[in-house]
Amino acid sequence: MISEEIQRIHEALPSGVRLVAVSKYHPSEAIREAYAAGQRVFGESHAQELQRKHQELANLGLEWHFIGHLQTNKVKYIAPYVHLIHAVDSLHLLSEINKQALKSGRIIPCLLQLHVAQEETKFGFTPDEARLFLEEGVWRTMKGVEIAGIMAMATNTDNTFRIREDFHQARRFFEEARKDFFQESNHFRELSMGMSDDWHIAVDEGSTLIRIGTQIFGQRQY
């Protein structure tokens, strides 16, 4: 039951940790059910799907997060209303978000995706790349975006030691970056990590935003 899972998770979360209910591939009806259980923050990973649900559910006043890989040419669809973009992995993408945000007269909070998992994926900055990106400082000139923290995914494995290490590395980078680059700003405060199978570990390791789909909504309907 969607409402029971939502309640169960809310009860287990320490204060300061928020739940993003990942509703991708699930119908608006499922979102309404979660809404009825008190959930207000939802995550989607396809721009057109988000666009459609945003329109269908406009009267609910939901907080929409974009959580997956975002293609540059899709930014324009979500820029007018998206609350947080979780997975910025290039300057090119951040520039486009900035441009579209300014067009909408907005400042869009964004997280940098940090690649910490022990697996090949093309997405995310390595810690070295992320540090360089922050040092170069082009982001400081962009008035339509705000770097609000870090997002990371752990290795897809049953080895909980490995998962903990990955989250720990993300947390360490988050703390260092906050100290080195964001001391004068209070925007840099979100650490988005933890999914259905690993969120307990992520919360242990300092997550502030967990992104949960399957545990709440069941298997995705393709």
Ligand X SMILES: *Cc1c(COP(=O)(O)O)cnc(C)c1O
45 binding ligand X? (CB under 6 A): yes
One residue of 83, 196, 200, 206 binding ligand X per CB under 6 A: 196
Which positions from 153 to 192 touch ligand X by CB under 6 A, shown as an x/- string?
----------------------------------------
For the segment 13-32, give every residue that binds ligand X (CB under 6 A).
22, 24
Q: Which stretch binds ligand X (CB under 6 A): 2-10, 157-165, 177-185, 207-215?
A: 207-215
Q: Which stretch binds ligand X (CB under 6 A): 2-10, 140-148, 169-177, 205-213?
A: 205-213
Q: How many CA atoms lie within 13 A of 178 on its CB side?
A: 16
Write the CB contacts of 26 (distance below 8 Å, at least 6 apart in sequence).
Answer: 213, 217, 220, 221
Q: At what angle do helices 47-56 and 28-36 cross, to 10 degrees?
A: 60
One residue of 17, 21, 65, 68 binding ligand X per CB under 6 A: 68
Of the candidates 2, 1, 3, 9, the residue with the CA atom closest to the CA atom of residue 200: 9
Q: How far is the CB of 106 from ligand X (least distance, A)?
A: 23
124 binding ligand X? (CB under 6 A): no
Of the candidates 71, 22, 19, 21, the residue with the CA atom closest to the CA atom of residue 48: 71
Question: Among all chains, which residue has been given the structure tokens 């997956």?
Answer: 68
One residue of 46, 65, 171, 211 binding ligand X per CB under 6 A: 211
| Cα 69 from chain centre | 10
214 binding ligand X? (CB under 6 A): yes
Neighbour tally for 108: CB within 10 Å = 27
Q: What residues make contact with ligand X under the rule CB under 6 A? A: 22, 24, 45, 67-68, 195-196, 211-215
